[in-house]
Amino acid sequence: MTFLTVDRVCAEYGATRVLNDVTAHVAEGEMHVLLGPSGCGKTTLLRAISGLQAISGGSIALAGRRIDALPPADRGLAMVFQHYALFPNMTVRQNLAFALGRRGLGRARIADNVDRMLEVVDLTPRADALPAALSGGQKQRVALARALVLEPRLLLLDEPLSALDAQIRKRLQLELKRMQRQLGLTAILVTHDQDEAMRMGDRISILNAGRIVQSDRAETVFHRPADTFVARFLGEANILPAHLIAPGRAGHAVIHPAAFEIVTDLPLLEAEVVDTEIMGQLVRIHCRAGGEALRVDRLAGYGAERPAPGDRLQLGARPDAVHFIAPTSSPSVPDNTSPDP
Amino acid sequence: MPRLSSVFLTLAAALFALPFVTIVLAAFGTGWSTGLLPEGLDTAAVAGVLTDPRFQAALGRSLAVSGAALLLSAVLMVPAILAGHIYWPALDRWLARLVVLPYAVPGVVLVVGYLRVFSHPALALNGTPWILVLAYVPLCFPMFYVSIKGALTGLPIADWLDAGRLMGLRDERILARVVLPMIAPQILLGVVLGLGILLGEFVYANMLVGGRFETLQIYMYAKRTESGAVTAAIILFYFLTILSLTAASVALSRQRPAR
């Protein structure tokens, strides 16, 4: 069931339109990722939902009630900011308690709520520390706790992990996802990191130039991109003229590098090896076929033989690993709001 | 090379220290008229100045006028700088240009302007301490602007305000509870720098109020012919005051707001 409905929302910064008839649906309990390149409007959309950015058209409804005319604090949302926005002159405990200031709760109730939330994010021992004394990961958890202590119906996450280094980011991605599932939170995560989107998103909406160009389950978006922009943005898929794979066919064929197999008969393509590179567990083979550059990934065991530049490879792929995009493919925004099982 | 540098540094330090040493000798020396050094030392001139009721009154007046001007400047400038920085970048650009005006326009020109403006009945403040307070207020603006603006740049104030709005807290509350405490050392730095300048200010004080409201600098000017030791004692006191204020401002400027 749709929990948040964004319907044909438009927003402008001065004369520049940054959201252009954006429609999105978020189901209850789902982690919905807004993914796109810098400047595509994903943070603006998040801010429009939160009420921090005025919209010039369309509507936003949460749990069936329109919220787009309400002030931010009355929308039942909380937000974790990219750089946390913790109040540096307040301790962790004071940051959380300050957030509850307007709720009219008694001191004892505020203290109980704060203590409970500090336990959830495992920061009780650091309750009296100032933010400057915390690590990046701890700051991120304080920011999350400060948002959760408001008991929001919808949690907005604006690139909350982007300021962290890669290892901590991966660990916190899993932690954040586990917490979201455990608490049954509905959340919208903004990111420009495709891996993070794949790892965390139950559903992903891809934005480009102020529009959602595809919104679907992570697996579908990855393997069945709606257009070449999505295909290019997600990973490093080979986007080839369709006629190279299926003679006479127009449009493009999308094949992920790992989907290629080296075959001995009935090849899809014959390619010439240009170079190879080791990428940890994989060896990437750069080839050319029909004038197009190709990337082919193979598992690389230690000391495994690699093809040499100039070698010719016969490449095949399972039929379901090849996705065709019609030449005039229009963006698809299916109204399927059920979260992943 | 490092050895040569240290020689030059020592020479430069000695050169800078020479006036101070001379003032100390002049303030505490006796019979310094024929030799390279005074014939004796005593504290009579310094004690005489410090116990002089006229000096104490002048110091009190200087502190009162400077304090009032700094208070008025802070009340006017801190909200204006915050408003410009957070809400009206266009105003901020104008502020950056306007705050240097008291230094860009010669003091004499400004004083003549002030005397004309404050001679009309509704604003007839000429000769009163109030005209000095009002003339000193713009002199403090650059100190506040530079120190506070430096502190504000880099603070994620927009995020703090957004976080507050989502919590249902008004901007004023975030400004009072978060932003002001974060920039408090820089406000204090503006006060200290401003005090240093105002205590040493002579042109405005002399032309706007003169002997009718004797400030420290006017007192120093009046005493210049009395005795070299007395003048040196006043200058020494003034120098030590400015030195303490400078040390305080250096210490404050090292207190960077936590990010």
Of A74, A85, A89, which has the smallest distance from its Cβ to B159's Cβ?
Answer: A85
Can you read off the two tokens belonging to residue A122? 């495992």
Distance between CA atoms of residues A254 and A205, nearest Å = 19
Q: What angle do CA A120, A121, A127 make, to 5 degrees?
A: 105
Distance between CA atoms of residues B183 and B10, nearest Å = 37
Fold held by B53-253: MetI-like fold (1.10.3720)
Q: Is the pLDDT reported for residue A339 higher than 60?
A: no
Q: What is the pLDDT of residues A20-47, one digit of tens each?
A: 999 999 999 999 999 999 989 999 999 9
Closest approach of chain A CAs to the CA of B174, in angstroms? 9
Can you read off the two tokens belonging to residue B236? 């020494």
Closest approach of chain B CAs to the CA of A126, in angstroms? 18
Q: What is the pLDDT of residues A59-103, one digit of tens each?
A: 999 999 999 999 999 999 999 999 999 999 999 999 999 988 777
> B163 and A73 in contact (C-beta within 8 Å)?
no
Closest approach of chain B CAs to the CA of A193, in angstroms? 22
Distance between CA atoms of residues B102 and A104, nearest Å = 49
Closest approach of chain A CAs to the CA of B78, in angstroms? 19
Q: Which amino acid is at B115?
A: L
| CB contact set of B93 (below 8 Å; sequence gap of 6+) | none
Q: Which of residues 146-205 of A touch B (CB under 8 A)?
A: 146, 150
Q: Which residue has the higher pLDDT, A34 or B101?
A: A34
Q: Which residue has the higher pLDDT, A22 or B2?
A: A22
* Residue numbers in A near B172 (CB within 8 A): none
Q: What is the pLDDT of residues A94-134, one digit of tens each?
A: 999 998 877 778 889 999 999 999 998 889 999 999 999 99
Asked whether residue A202 is assigned to any structural domain, the reply reads yes
> A140 and A174 in contact (C-beta within 8 Å)?
no
Q: How many CB pairs under 8 A join A and B?
A: 66
Mean pLDDT of B132-159: 92
Q: Reduced to 3 states, what is the DSSP secondary structure of residue A164?
A: coil
Last residue of a domain, one of A201, A230, A259: A230
> A148 and A77 in contact (C-beta within 8 Å)?
no
Q: Is the pLDDT reported for residue B259 higher than 50?
A: no
Cα Rg of chain B (Å, integer) = 23
Mean pLDDT score across all residues of chain B: 88
Asked whether residue A143 is assigned to any structural domain, the reply reads yes
pLDDT of residue A341: 32
pLDDT of residue A161: 87
Closest approach of chain A CAs to the CA of B190, in angstroms? 21
Asked if B178 lies within 8 A of A102 by C-beta distance, the reply is no
Write the secondary structure of A40-83 as one string of H (helix), E (strand) and C (coil): CCHHHHHHHHHCCCCCCEEEEEECCEECCCCCHHHCCEEEECCC
> A127 and A91 in contact (C-beta within 8 Å)?
yes
Q: Is the pLDDT reported for residue A336 higher than 80?
A: no
Of A90, A102, A131, which has the smallest distance from its Cβ to B168's Cβ?
Answer: A102
Asked whether residue A245 falls in the same domain as residue A224, the answer is no
* Residue numbers in B near A101 (CB within 8 A): 167-169, 173
pLDDT of residue A333: 45
Q: Is the pLDDT reported for residue A335 higher than 70?
A: no
Asked whether residue A41 falls in the same domain as residue A103, the answer is yes
In terms of residue numbers, what domain contains A147?
2-230
Contact A50/B at CB under 8 A = yes
Asked whether residue A221 falls in the same domain as residue A272, the answer is no
Asked if B258 lies within 8 A of A85 by C-beta distance, the reply is no
> A271 and A263 in contact (C-beta within 8 Å)?
no
pLDDT of residue A337: 39
Output the domain CATH number for residue A321: 2.40.50.140
In the numeric block, the tokens 């005493």 are attached to B223
Closest CA to A230 of A258, A251, A204, A196: A204
Can you read off the two tokens belonging to residue B257? 């707001």
Asked whether residue A161 is assigned to any structural domain, the reply reads yes
Closest CA to A334 of A7, A16, A24, A11: A24
Asked whether residue A179 falls in the same domain as residue A295, the answer is no
Asked whether residue A272 is assigned to any structural domain, the reply reads yes
Q: Is the pLDDT reported for residue A4 higher than 90?
A: yes
Last residue of a domain, one of A188, A215, A230: A230
Asked whether residue A218 falls in the same domain as residue A312, the answer is no
* Residue numbers in A near B173 (CB within 8 A): 101
B166, closest residue in chain A (CA to CA):
A73
Asked whether residue A156 falls in the same domain as residue A260, the answer is no
Contact B257/A at CB under 8 A = yes
Asked whether residue A178 falls in the same domain as residue A308, the answer is no
Mean pLDDT of A147-172: 88
Asked whether residue A291 is assigned to any structural domain, the reply reads yes
Q: Is the pLDDT reported for residue B80 higher than 90?
A: yes
Asked whether residue A145 is assigned to any structural domain, the reply reads yes
Asked whether residue A334 is assigned to any structural domain, the reply reads no
Asked if B259 lies within 8 A of A50 by C-beta distance, the reply is no
Closest CA to A192 of A5, A11, A33: A33
> Which residues face A284 on adjacent strands?
A277, A297
Asked whether residue A330 is assigned to any structural domain, the reply reads no
Contact B156/A at CB under 8 A = yes
Other C-beta atoms lying within 10 Å of the C-beta of residue B172: 9
Q: What is the pLDDT of residues A255-273, one digit of tens each?
A: 999 999 988 877 788 999 9
Total number of domains in chain A: 2
Listed range (A113-117, B135-139, B195-199, B251-255) with the worst mean pLDDT: B251-255
Mean pLDDT of A230-236: 89
Q: Where are the domains of chain B?
A: 1-42, 53-253
pLDDT of residue B1: 63
Last residue of a domain, one of A199, A230, A261: A230
> A67 and A153 in contact (C-beta within 8 Å)?
no
pLDDT of residue A338: 38
Q: What is the pLDDT of residues A292-313, one digit of tens each?
A: 999 999 988 777 788 899 999 9
Distance between CA atoms of residues A179 and A121, nearest Å = 9
Q: Which residue has the higher pLDDT, A316 or B259?
A: A316
Contact A274/B at CB under 8 A = no
Asked whether residue A127 falls in the same domain as residue A271, the answer is no
Q: Which residue has the higher pLDDT, A87 or B41?
A: A87
Mean pLDDT of A236-242: 92
Asked whether residue A18 falls in the same domain as residue A85, the answer is yes
Closest CA to A8 of A71, A57, A73: A57
Query: What is the ipTM, given to two decimal places?
Result: 0.83
Asked whether residue A53 falls in the same domain as residue A176, the answer is yes
Asked if A88 lies within 8 A of B177 by C-beta distance, the reply is no
